[in-house]
Amino acid sequence: MKPNVIIINPGDNVAVALEDIKKGEKVCLPDNRSFEALSHILYSHKVLLADIKANSDIVKYGEVIGQSKSDLKRGEWVHTHNMKLGEE
């Protein structure tokens, strides 16, 4: 299956959507692994690659870009509604 996300850095726990991915569709990784999208993921937005607990680091570009506001599941859309930025 053709990848529909890109992982920018091997240490990232999010991938970036290369196209809109509808809830229930497969998120297809470059290494041929796949899993179900639990949310609608817009083009260029982040999708979580593994389950994480509340207040865990969100890592993109190999850098921490924020923390999760709650427990999150693999396949969820990651954005400001469920991610704390900076001093929030």
* pLDDT of amino acid 24: 98
Per-domain residue ranges of the chain? 5-84
The list of the chain residues with pLDDT below 50 reads none
* pLDDT of amino acid 60: 96
* pLDDT of amino acid 1: 83
pTM: 0.92
Nearest partner of 36 among 27, 45, 49, judged by Cα:
27
Percent of the chain with pLDDT over 70: 97
71 and 54 in contact (C-beta within 8 Å)?
yes
* pLDDT of amino acid 87: 58
Fold adopted by 5-84 = 2.30.130
Cα radius of gyration rounded to whole Å, the chain = 12
